[in-house]
Amino acid sequence: MPEPQTTPRTLAAAVAALDARMAAGSTIAGAAPGSEHRIGSHLRQGSGGQARFVRFSVGATTYAVGEAFVTELDRVPRITIVPQTPAWLRGVTNLRGDIVSVLDLRIYLGLEPTSATAGRMLVLRLPSEEFALGLLVDGVEGIVSIDREAIHPPASALEGPLAPFLSGMSVVGDQLLAVLDLDRFLRSSDIRQFDETHEDSRCEAH
């Protein structure tokens, strides 16, 4: 008799559970609804001057984004291509009836596309708006608490597409993290230009 499934209590556990299912022969893209893992509200609280961040990697860089913006974690989904959009907008996906744009952060940074089998998708939402974005990354490394005073400007000026959206850098253990200001990123003209894409692609994605 199979053991009952439980929702992992941490993001790292969610990643491990997904890997275990994949090793057991579960499907990848187009998985049945409900296969994704939601991040519980019990994880959102920080203490004192600390804030909680989701840590993920793209290429050789490890990033941290505010946990309040990340609502789900899943494998790379089935994506419907949208014509006449930048290469880094991989297309849209149907997330339980909501049409969500999917941004490949590797392409956005000038790298090769994210692997459909090894990559992950973080679902990002603005807490104050009905706006969501799927962000493809190489891997998710769990949740970390960072003291806000431990986030410092970089020693030298940064370059690249994400430079305007960096809050600063922080060291956790022996790992250097680039902390992204997701509120600024999700409200940027690059991202918000695709708000209308959802409606235009709704029928096609279904």
Residue 78 belongs to a domain: yes
Q: For 128-150, how does the pLDDT look when each residue is reduced to its tens digit (9 = 90+)?
A: 888 889 999 999 999 999 998 89
CB 63 within 8 A of CB 20: no
For position 99, which CATH number holds? Answer: 2.40.50.180
Single pTM value for the model: 0.73
Question: What's the pLDDT score for residue 29?
Answer: 30
Question: What's the pLDDT score for residue 70?
Answer: 94
Residue 5 belongs to a domain: no
Amino acid at 137: V
Residue 4 belongs to a domain: no
Overall domain count for the chain: 1
CB 146 within 8 A of CB 172: yes
Phi, psi of 169 (to 5 degrees): -120, 155
Amino acid at 165: F
Question: What's the pLDDT score for residue 34?
Answer: 37
CB 126 within 8 A of CB 186: yes
Question: What's the pLDDT score for residue 24?
Answer: 52
Q: Which of the residues in the chain have pLDDT under 70?
A: 1-48, 155-158, 194-206
Question: What's the pLDDT score for residue 194?
Answer: 66
